[in-house]
Chain A
Amino acid sequence: MNYSLATLWHERPRFLPGIGAVAFSAVLIALQCGLLLGLFKITSIPVDNSRAHVWVGSPEVLSVDLGRPIQMTYLSRVAGDPRVKEVEPYYQAFASWIKPDGTSELCIVIGTKLDNDSMGSVNQLSPEMRDALTEPNSIVVDKAELRRLGVKGVGDYAEINKVRVRIVGETTGLKSLAGPYVFCSRPTARLLLRAMTPQDHATYLLVRCHNPEDAPGLVEDINAEFGDRHDMSAFTAEKFSFRSRLHWLLKTRAGVALGYTALLGLLVGAVVTSQTLYAATTASAKEYAILLAMGIPRRKVTLTVLVQSFWVGLFGIALAYPIVHLLAYAGQLIEMTIPLPWELLVLSAVVTMVMSMIAGLVALRSVRRIEPMDLLR
């Protein structure tokens, strides 16, 4: 006999607000986190869409777009390791984009090797685009950024750091956060970024290992050997991607905003759930009072309320998941990516379940108020 579940089912209308409140909290947390994940995934696009095992950059670089130039001579130090199959210089820096109408916009220039075995060129660059990019001063931009860049598309001209460039291709799905991505060859990048990237320097050295599983060990060794001298820092691609996202999450304080919103959602959920459980217990106060009169320990009633809060939590979470997925799908329709990794779903479930149980604890004051004597008045 599960008394709590029987009561929950029998008094569905009474418990529904509590279940709804839990669902609301779970949806809010999952979607907020998902939105933020989607947003900051943008910051690690260059890492996530390329094929390097290890990224070597300026010491303690915080995010992929904040790399400072490092000396090309470091290449031989890295390439000397027997685990390394290949090292490839990579250029990335902010630059000033002058639109045809004369106004300017910040952009991120990415210069990579363009061969088929290139590690740095993003997957979205087709072989045709890479071919076209071999032409000096040619660039590729994302279709979604054309308006922001003030151009119409392929064939248009613009100026980057006072160098005239021509658009030779358009990618899709690489919309950026800080400034539109501009993809080009390494010689073009060196030219465009000449003011901030000295001769014989690159922004990153991308490394391919013979065995991808060697990457973490290689990173450890590079950092142990060169980290102390503040020459360079190495990261596995996964770590660098995460580091870039985390940096922007914290720097923009979006994490704090998320925390507040989630907290607010949890508070609302907790209050409604607690009130639901309180009202339900108060409604059965006389029945419980008889049991207490008969000497049944109060903790049994307490446990019942806590078990009810568990069920309310579980049903709320079960209700939330389809809604979360539906809203994430709706987001896709308006080109808003809301990733929902299982870790996020588990996290939101755990947080809301804890909230529901706390609401149950708060509602226990109703149990303390039950007095068998009240039945005799």
Chain B
Amino acid sequence: MAVPADEQPTLRGITLTRSFSDGGRARNVIDDVTLDLNRGEITLLMGPSGSGKSTMLAILSGLLQPDSGQVLAHENGDWIDVWRLSPREREQFRLRNCGFIFQGYNLFPALTARQQLEIVLRWGDGLPGREARKRADEMLGLLGLGGKENKKPAQLSGGEKQRVAIGRALIKKPRFCFADEPTSALDWGSGQVVIDLLQKAAHEYDSTIIVVSHDYRLLEHVDVSYHLEDGRLTETDVPVNRGFEPWRTGP
């Protein structure tokens, strides 16, 4: 499918529905939801616990199949129906396009900050060691972690660990970045650094970023915000755009 020149969205969820069995009865966690995510923007998806935010993230990112509906991703001038791809093709799609950030950092305890990033490039893109190392060091520098390349997770603070996790998600310069509660384990200072880094990624790499969170403080840092409750989506107001802020290099 060709893309109209004025088309803004790069990731579209169209009439998505997903139910789970709840005590023997099917419950719609996502109920006929349609939303568009735009390039270069951060979209915040909020809602109470169990409202289906994470399910929505999983469906949009190609990890969880919806019962019905489509997920269309814009890649190199074409729209790709993510859930029409074979599992192998979907894996390759994610490899080319997706970065993930989760609440729990999930860094390999045995590996240094540099290695956490290198592994993505080497295992994913088959990059040679030297090239991967160079790019990992560049990314760590951008994240304000210069000089901490050889530190293991146990030697890093919570904010630093989350920055390494962000670096791991962004090192491929992904078209789409999915973040699940990226700030909830952090103090607000570190949380602000995280959201600043995501803003920078949205602008710098023209990435489409979706953040799932129940942290209301993020509202003033995002471009679009949705509220999800009982499987239904409503758009919420975001404060007047705060404008683009440069990289911050400290927590």
Contacts and interface: CB of A to CB of B under 8 A. Distances in A.
Q: Is the A/B pair a real complex?
A: yes
Interface in B109-151: 109-111, 115, 118-120, 122-124, 129
A366 B61 CA distance: 24
B147 to A, nearest CB: 19
From A284, A286, A294, A300, name the one whose CB has the most chain B CB atoms within 10 angstroms.
A294
Interface stretch (A5-13, A76-84, A212-220): A5-13
Contacts of A289: 106
Given A3-B115, A286-B104, A376-B63, A295 B124 contact: yes
Contact of B120 (A6, A291, A375, A376): A291
B115 A1 contact: yes
A283 to B, nearest CB: 9
Interface in B20-35: none
A290 to B, nearest CB: 5
A372 interface: yes
A364 B94 CA distance: 23
Q: Which range contains the number of A residues in contact with the other chain?
A: 20 to 34
Interface in A305-363: none
Nearest to A5: B110
B99 A294 contact: yes
Interface in A246-292: 284, 286-287, 289-291
Contacts of B115: 1, 3, 6
B98 A295 contact: yes
Contact of A293 (B55, B100, B104, B107): B100
A10 B91 CA distance: 30
B188 interface: no
B80 to A, nearest CB: 14
A377 interface: yes
The interface centre, meaning the residue of B61, B92, B102, B110 with most chain A CB atoms within 10 A of its CB, is B110
B205 interface: no
B99 A1 contact: no
Contacts of B195: none
Contacts of B64: 373, 376
Contacts of A294: 94-95, 98-100, 120, 124, 169, 172
A367 to B, nearest CB: 14
Interface in A144-202: none
Contacts of B102: 290, 375-376
A286 B102 CA distance: 10
A1 B113 CA distance: 13
Contacts of A375: 100, 102, 104, 106, 180
A66 interface: no
Contacts of A300: 123
B96 interface: yes
Contacts, number: 86
Contacts of A284: 108
A10 B108 CA distance: 10
Contacts of B180: 375-376
B123 A376 contact: no
B105 to A, nearest CB: 9
B58 A295 contact: no
B161 interface: no
B247 interface: no
A35 to B, nearest CB: 40
A366 to B, nearest CB: 16
Nearest to A293: B100
Contacts of B118: 1
Contacts of A287: 106-108
A297 B88 CA distance: 9
Contacts of B55: 376
B110 A290 contact: no
B95 A296 contact: yes
A295 B122 contact: no
Given A9-B110, A286-B104, A287-B108, A295 B91 contact: yes
B57 interface: yes
Nearest to B122: A1
Contacts of B108: 3, 7, 284, 287
26 contacts: A3-B108, A3-B119, A6-B110, A6-B115, A7-B110, A7-B111, A10-B110, A286-B106, A289-B106, A290-B100, A290-B168, A291-B123, A293-B98, A294-B95, A294-B98, A295-B98, A295-B124, A296-B95, A296-B124, A300-B123, A373-B63, A375-B102, A375-B106, A376-B55, A376-B102, A377-B54
Given A6-B110, A287-B108, A291-B123, 17 more contacts: A3-B110, A3-B115, A3-B119, A7-B110, A10-B152, A290-B106, A290-B168, A293-B63, A294-B95, A294-B98, A294-B120, A295-B95, A296-B120, A296-B124, A297-B123, A300-B123, A373-B63
Interface of B: 54-55, 57-58, 61, 63-64, 91-96, 98-100, 102, 104, 106-111, 115, 118-120, 122-124, 129, 152, 168-169, 172, 180
Q: Which 9 A-B pairs have the closest CB atoms?
A: A295-B95, A10-B110, A295-B94, A376-B54, A7-B110, A300-B123, A286-B106, A287-B108, A296-B124
